[in-house]
Amino acid sequence: MSEGLWEEGRPGVLRLPSGRLVRGRDLRRPLDAAGPRPTYGVYLLGRRPPSVPWNWDWIRWPDFRLPTDPDTAHSLLTQAWRRAANERVELACGGGRGRTGTALACLAVLDGVPPEEAVDFVRRAYDRRAVETPWQRGFVRRFGGGV
């Protein structure tokens, strides 16, 4: 992997099967002042997030729900997955579990994890409580074209 990516083992960093590293984050906690900053972020919130000094996009995604525009969500998550090959990409929501876990599971699907296994993959490798609702699990299955 390229120099300057996330360091595996740091809080929130998930290694996808391809070796891509992405970071999930809880926006309610401050960033580690000494740690690296993302080069690209996707923020999963019901309201527009405050601006940050790196490239970022926003998916309107109310807490405990699904993205208000699934096509935009698919496009931006696909872009995040592509960029993670050589950039520090983070996905983040208020608590870092439900929406963030769902988005990370979608990246896992893009990376080749079968949709019906992606939630378990993220719960094992990122946070055991990731993906909080049945409709979020369904979103991951549909994201991969499954039922």
Average per-residue pLDDT in the chain? 93
Confidence of residue 4 (pLDDT cuts 50, 70, 90): confident
The answer to the question of residue 85 being in a domain is yes
The answer to the question of residue 88 being in a domain is yes
Range of the domain at 132: 36-143
pLDDT in tens, 24-81: 999 998 888 778 999 999 999 999 999 999 999 999 999 989 999 999 999 999 999 9
The answer to the question of residue 78 being in a domain is yes
Q: Indicate the number of domains in the chain.
A: 1
The answer to the question of residue 28 being in a domain is no
The answer to the question of residue 54 being in a domain is yes
pLDDT reported for residue 145: 64
Summarize the confidence of residues 94-117 as an average pLDDT: 97
The answer to the question of residue 136 being in a domain is yes
The stretches of 51-97 forming alpha helices (DSSP H) are: 70-83
The answer to the question of residue 1 being in a domain is no
Residue % of the chain over a pLDDT of 70: 96
For residue 6, give the DSSP letter.
Answer: P
The answer to the question of residue 7 being in a domain is no
CATH number, domain containing residue 113: 3.90.190.10
**Cα dihedral sign, 49-98-111-39:** positive
Encoded amino acid at 20, one letter: R
